[in-house]
A = this chain, B = another copy of it.
Amino acid sequence: MGMTGNNNFTVIADGSITTPKGFKAGGLHCGLKKTDRYDLGAIVCDVPAWAAGVYTLNAFQAAPLGVTRESIAAEGKLQAMIVNSGNANACTGRQGEEDARAMRSEAAKAFGVPEHYVGVTSTGVIGELLPMDKVIRGIRSLPREVKADGAGDFCQAILTTDLVQKMTCVAVTVNGRTVHIAGAAKGSGMIHPNMATMLGFMTTDAEIGSADLQKLLSEVTDETFNMITVDGDTSTNDMVVVMASGLSGSGRLTPEHPDWPAFAAGFRFVAEYLAKAIARDGEGATKLIEVSVKGAVSREAARAIAKTVIGSSLVKSACFGADANWGRIIAAVGRAGQPVDPSAVDIRIGDISVLEQSRPIPFDEDKAAEYLRGDFVQLYLDLHMGSATATAWGCDLTYDYVRINAAYRT
């Protein structure tokens, strides 16, 4: 990413995915959710926007992902992203593919853009066909709901078991002019009770080619969205899509541009903000947990160890119980299948050192418990073997996780 030079950015407190120039958004209730909450939404750009996407690695990729990928492949551009919640259109066979295509063509007609400028995403129940009459009627009504102040409605339309909306926006300076980068996301488990999906939508008014955008998105996703886990389950529908309108008027941005580092830093901030917001809003979670690994022999080792620790049910339960149980942390490190020196590991819980050079350090259990009762817990690991680092995010494992996921679907 060439993270040298200026990488300043500013968080826009009341910013949204429609703050970047050229974007509108909106949502409505078309009848997929049993409540009257919105279940169909769209982000629309005044002009064809450069676009990039990353998709789940699950072998059972849901139908809409292929359609979106195909659209972006045509010209590297999107002008409208349409999304429904309440039904994932996953494991729905040939009919599911036809339905995803029908959503694309209806949206193209509704917004007056070519089909290959439309992306489609779905989230919800796996294995049920979409009630296409409701969806099509909804899509035809969408244009009146899509507006400059419709980001909140859009966010409602993408939520399933999420408790909070997840959106942020930053500003960076490119060629002396302001460029905005914004994002919205949903996701509360890698898969929900019977819902599928983590979805991320990013918008920017930077002028940036789709190849550069794709490279940046892939790199940043690897360090943000791909470093969170709620329950270790990777859904069939995960997707992050970014659209760049180029309407900031700040001129073409490339990795060689002196303002690229600032743009990349802002872009990464938005992705990391959304990723952490998803982890914090994990099903049943009471706190966000961050695991930072340093001193690993390679980036892969650091990532694998960070993800193994953050994914451990025992570590997650200990955080819920405010138990400074470092034995579980060290055991998770040891089973990650990565090179570790069993006699050289340091562990800190917040600023409390509990293990140094693999030797237990006496610490104040009450102070540690008080720290762990907070809503943000940081665990630090130093392997003292190399210089590679990684950070992963997750949440605690609670009674409510079990309650939510044991509940019968009906």
Query: Interface on A for B, CB 8 Å cutoff?
Result: 57-61, 90-91, 93, 125-128, 189, 191, 193-194, 196, 231-236, 311-314, 317-318, 320-323, 325-328, 330-335, 337, 340, 342-343, 355, 358-360, 365, 369, 397-399, 401-403, 405-410
Q: List 10 A-B contacts (CB under 8 A).
A: A59-B340, A60-B334, A60-B342, A60-B358, A128-B360, A313-B313, A313-B397, A318-B406, A365-B410, A401-B402
The answer to whether A409 and B317 touch across the interface, beta carbons within 8 angstroms, is: no
User: What chain B residues lie within 8 Å of A399 (beta carbons)?
Assistant: 399, 402-403
The answer to whether B406 and A93 touch across the interface, beta carbons within 8 angstroms, is: no
CB contact under 8 A between A408 and B320, given known A194-B327, A358-B93, A403-B399: no
The answer to whether B57 and A317 touch across the interface, beta carbons within 8 angstroms, is: no
User: What chain B residues lie within 8 Å of A407 (beta carbons)?
Assistant: 321, 323
CB contact under 8 A between A325 and B397, given known A232-B312, A312-B232, A402-B317: no
Counting from the closest, the 7 A-B pairs by CB-CB distance are A321-B406, A126-B327, A317-B405, A60-B334, A58-B334, A59-B334, A234-B335
A360 to B334, CA, bound (A): 40
The answer to whether A193 and B325 touch across the interface, beta carbons within 8 angstroms, is: yes
A233 to B318, CA, bound (A): 14
Q: Is the interface of A mostly helix, strand, loop or mixed?
A: loop
The answer to whether B331 and A191 touch across the interface, beta carbons within 8 angstroms, is: yes
CB contact under 8 A between A360 and B127, given known A189-B314, A313-B232, A314-B231: yes
Of the candidates B340, B405, B410, which one forms a contact with A314 in the assembled complex, judged by CB atoms under 8 Å apart? B405
User: What chain B residues lie within 8 Å of A340 (beta carbons)?
Assistant: 59-60
User: What chain B residues lie within 8 Å of A194 (beta carbons)?
Assistant: 323, 325, 327-328
User: What chain B residues lie within 8 Å of A231 (beta carbons)?
Assistant: 312-314
User: What chain B residues lie within 8 Å of A193 (beta carbons)?
Assistant: 314, 323, 325
CB contact under 8 A between A196 and B321, given known A189-B314, A231-B313, A342-B60: no
The answer to whether B369 and A408 touch across the interface, beta carbons within 8 angstroms, is: yes
The answer to whether A330 and B60 touch across the interface, beta carbons within 8 angstroms, is: yes
CB proximity of A27 to chain B, nearest CB, Å? 25
User: What chain B residues lie within 8 Å of A342 (beta carbons)?
Assistant: 59-61
- Contacts A93-B343, A323-B408 given; 18 further ones with Cβ under 8 A? A59-B335, A60-B340, A60-B342, A60-B358, A128-B360, A193-B323, A193-B325, A232-B232, A233-B328, A234-B334, A313-B401, A314-B405, A317-B405, A318-B405, A320-B406, A322-B408, A365-B410, A402-B402
CB contact under 8 A between A196 and B409, given known A93-B358, A233-B335, A314-B191: no
CB proximity of A135 to chain B, nearest CB, Å? 19
The answer to whether A327 and B196 touch across the interface, beta carbons within 8 angstroms, is: yes
CB contact under 8 A between A405 and B233, given known A126-B327, A127-B360: no
A84 to B332, CA, bound (A): 23
